[in-house]
Amino acid sequence: SRDIEITLEANPDDLDQKFLKGVAEIGINRLSIGIQSFHDEDLRLMNRAHSSSQAESSVKRAQDAGIQNISIDLIYGAPTSNFEIWKQNLDKAIALEVPHISSYALTIEPRTVLENWITMVDFLKDNGFDHYEISNFGKPDFYSKHNTSYWKYKPYLGIGPSAHSYDGGQIRAWNIANNSLYIKDLLQGKLPIEKEIL
């Protein structure tokens, strides 16, 4: 299909120039980066391997490599965060001109999460984002086909450890999470997959 969306999920510390060049060359046309936060204290709490500066530079490197369809994950509600830090995270995302943001709550606590959620919806709307799905915001023409497919019961294919797939009917499947076992099974000609009937 000329209209296919192929998304690669990656962490900021994995995205060096050589890797990004290869990603673009093999036809991956959407990149989802697990930024989580642009503040080092948040990242330390979440035990992330990257720093805030690596998070920012990974987006810029991807753009320099010619990848424009970029989504970033942001987590709100961290105990190390507050309203001002959350606002700074959103400001940084807008300044980087990413066209898609997936945002998730780290904790479900009364008042704080709801307050941040409402602020985020209004702020992103004012900056040209549509709230098109529960946790996702995209600029026009940058909605994730993958995320949208869930709600329309369309089939999708997940490749790699922990990736999920759905046949569009009654079968949902997921690959084992362990990297070593995943590779070992593939080398032995076995699909490291589990299935369930919905």
Residues 97-130 pLDDT 10s: 999 999 988 754 555 454 566 577 888 999 999 9
How far apart (Å, rounded) are the C-alpha atoms in residues 28 and 36? Answer: 22
Task: Say what the pLDDT of residue 115 is.
Answer: 58
Percent of the chain with pLDDT over 90: 73
The pTM assigned to this predicted structure is 0.68
> How many Å separate Cα 5 from the centre of its chain?
14
CA distances from 60 to 6, 63, 64, 105, 156 (A): 20, 5, 6, 25, 29
Q: In which residue are the tokens 């086909």 written? A: 145
Residues 23-52 pLDDT 10s: 999 989 999 999 999 999 999 888 899 999
Burial class for 52, CB neighbours closer than 10 Å (0-12, 13-18, 19+): buried
Higher pLDDT pick, 194 / 150: 194
How far apart (Å, rounded) are the C-alpha atoms in residues 132 and 70? Answer: 16
Rounded mean pLDDT of 167-173? 94
Rounded mean pLDDT of 164-183? 94
Question: Can you name the residues that pair with 138 across neighbouring β-strands?
Answer: 100, 130
Look at residue 102 and give its three-state secondary structure. Answer: strand
Closest CA to 159 of 193, 133, 128: 193
Task: Say what the pLDDT of residue 147 is.
Answer: 82
Closest CA to 17 of 70, 47, 62: 62
Task: Say what the pLDDT of residue 114 is.
Answer: 46
Q: What are phi and psi of 22, to 5 degrees?
A: -65, -40
